Amino acid sequence: MPQEKLAVGFFSFTADEGCMIEFLEILNKYYFDWAKVLDVRYCKQLKSKNDFSALDVAFVEGCISSHTESDKLKKIRENSKYVVSIGSCAINGQPSNLRNFFDEERKKEIQFMLDKFNHLPVIQAPPEVIKIDDFVPGCPMIEAKFVEVLNKYLDTFGVVKNAHTGL
């Protein structure tokens, strides 16, 4: 059944938020078109509605470094029909998971910080925690691939397209 707008959320976990900065840059080109077809329910960079229930598509960036982040990612998965990892961190953990490769001496040096902030022993990429449906590679994510994946989901959900959107 076609719908007017795609319900989406954009979530950042442990990373430098480079993919979200790239998303904001992409909005410079597509904002007026996407405003007609996207219902952005969560995106802290846009100060959106802060609602991530009943999402069609959730876009996640970054790695999972704490139990709190793991729980939130699982909740996002439960409340989303599709989840897309955007950027290298959310696909394979690199470069945000570098502490996973520290030698034992370095790990001992930082253990007090891991304990203080209740971090997991190792950082995990989202696909290690939940099922991921699609991937947008790059560091930051590749604009053309992001637009391609977004368009795929607009088509999947039969979002009614205005003839002037260029989508």
The answer to whether residue 53 scores a pLDDT higher than 90 is no
Which residues are registered as beta bridge partners of 11? 60
pLDDT, residue 165, reads 46
Rounded Cα–Cα distance for residues 94 and 89 (Å): 5
Rounded Cα–Cα distance for residues 162 and 67 (Å): 42
pLDDT, residue 164, reads 39
Please name each of the domains of the chain with its CATH number.
Answer: 6-156 (3.40.50.700)
Q: Cα Rg for the chain, rounded, in angstroms?
A: 17
Given pLDDT bands bounded at 50, 70 and 90, which one contains residue 107? very high
Name the token pair of 14: 């442990």
Residue 42 — left, alpha, or beta (φ > 0 → left; ψ -120 to 50 → alpha)?
beta
Given pLDDT bands bounded at 50, 70 and 90, which one contains residue 46? confident
Taking the model in full, what pTM does it have? 0.91
Q: Is the previous residue joined to 95 through a cis bond, with omega within 30 degrees of 0?
A: yes
Rounded Cα–Cα distance for residues 27 and 21 (Å): 10
pLDDT, residue 163, reads 35
